[in-house]
Structure 1
């Protein structure tokens, strides 16, 4: 397993984030009165990356630079997360994913045009969102789902999460989030990775959209059966949100245009923990035709 970049202090982690952000551009897209903020990197065929629940564009902090060497990488804060607005529609909507997906679809059309084919990756809750988006968008050329939510089968998480919102001080909140990071997101507990913790803290505290119930409710298999594009399913072998081999066979369902793989030694946030391996897999999967 390629080890995560270990950063000793929050200030150094902040500098890494600022350098990455400054290497691209920021675009704010108004969709129905709500602003969706996008970071855009590189040039080439469009590749959209969707982050997980309690997440932000920084879930891809160790992937953007590699992927943008061959692609125009478009990374949003989804509506209700980080720098993007909440949706204007009622949160009591009977289909809460509908507004989220519609906003993303509208923003993508605004950025690249309605007829331009694009590739799509979703992580965790973003995997469920990506499947929903791809199921109704014929311009999605190829799809990759990383540790996707919505499979509706048993998880294997054994360590309960700490309620970081109940913390009384910033220090105790950060410590609670540190515990959750290593019990849920990352498998390796070697070192003290302040970059991962800084990303996790920034993302969690600014997430307003409540994704947990949607992630647990299922529906991913149904959505994928409406996707005609080739699909790559990818997990860290120690992902606590699923029994990956069982879910992979369920979702692949004998379809020749669906592939799956496990990344050894990694947990749920596999594209961070084993960034080099995942970057190589994605670059190969999304290689332009011809």
Structure 2
């Protein structure tokens, strides 16, 4: 059954959300590479034709895709060659062998990275939510080629989380109005602090990505998979969190203490008035902070 996006609001410039997303995707090179299990992994590469710039990999959140970075890829591509992944079993990428196992996901990502990134180049990774969990695992496999890991609202940490309303499953058989309304509700609960920031692109993204997701990222997060692997990560870590991140607030100090116990010089950057999806809700501040962090 095909999805009906007719109730998704248009953007302020009159375009549909799909047209807006497609206009950004058109600025990239869409590349599929093998990931070692017979499937392929999709990457959108921005800025590859603009000189020998530093390489930045972007790993999106759970039940997401590269669209989580839609407000970041173009500004960042002025300074980096940006590889925005669709993680295995999410977006347009094929699933890993085990959609419940973080190492099954990670090994697919590592194989795809080896096929995509020149062996003589180092790189940085920025991982959002589930992408932070994946990037922490990747960091144990790639050695000193990974020069910095920026965690953004990272999931999979053994730390306090305030209970909140349950998200509702989005189903293709829902009427367009219900589908858009439930996507908005989920975004307001989990992703964005200010309900006024929930726009057409956010709603379209939520419907598209969550209805096609195969990898069970939430189960991995609930099993604290990032906390398990962090003691083995030697790459310098930096954090960017939204002040009101629904997965963290008001317990951010607990995360800071956790990271500093492993890396005493860990720096946590908190972006004011933003929620979990800080890279979208406060894109200008996020982009500026990331471009400050990465050249260090």
Asked if Structure 1 and Structure 2 have the same fold, meaning a TM-score greater than 0.5 normalized by the shorter chain, the answer is yes
Q: Deviations over 1:164-209 (max 9, x none)?
A: 3396323312211110001110000126511211122211111111
CA distance in 2 between counterparts of 1:163 and 1:207 reads 12
CA contact (8 A) 1:157 1:240 kept: no
The reply to whether residue 199 of structure 1 matches residue 205 of structure 2 is yes
CA distance in 2 between counterparts of 1:68 and 1:152 reads 34
SS at match of 1:284: helix
Runs of 4+ off more than 6 Å: none
* Matched residue, 2:185: 179
CA contact (8 A) 1:8 1:192 kept: no
2:151 equivalent among 130, 145, 150: 145
CA distance in 1 between counterparts of 2:74 and 2:99 reads 35
CA distance in 2 between counterparts of 1:191 and 1:47 reads 27
Q: How many residues align?
A: 279
Structure 2: 5+ residue runs without aligned partners? 1-9
Distance 1:115 1:157, change over 3 A: farther
Q: Deviations over 1:242-264 (max 9, x none)?
A: 22221122122162442112111
1:7 equivalent among 11, 14, 19: 11
RMSD (Å), alpha carbons: 2.0
2:263 equivalent among 255, 263, 267: 255
CA distance in 1 between counterparts of 2:42 and 2:72 reads 19
Deviates further, 60-69 or 104-113:
104-113
2:84 equivalent among 75, 98, 118: 75
Deviates further, 126-135 or 252-261:
252-261
CA distance in 2 between counterparts of 1:100 and 1:190 reads 34
Shift of 1:153: 1.9
SS at match of 1:201: helix
Distance 1:192 1:221, change over 3 A: closer
Give me the TM-score of the superposition, normalised by structure 1.
0.90
2:139 equivalent among 131, 134, 137: 134
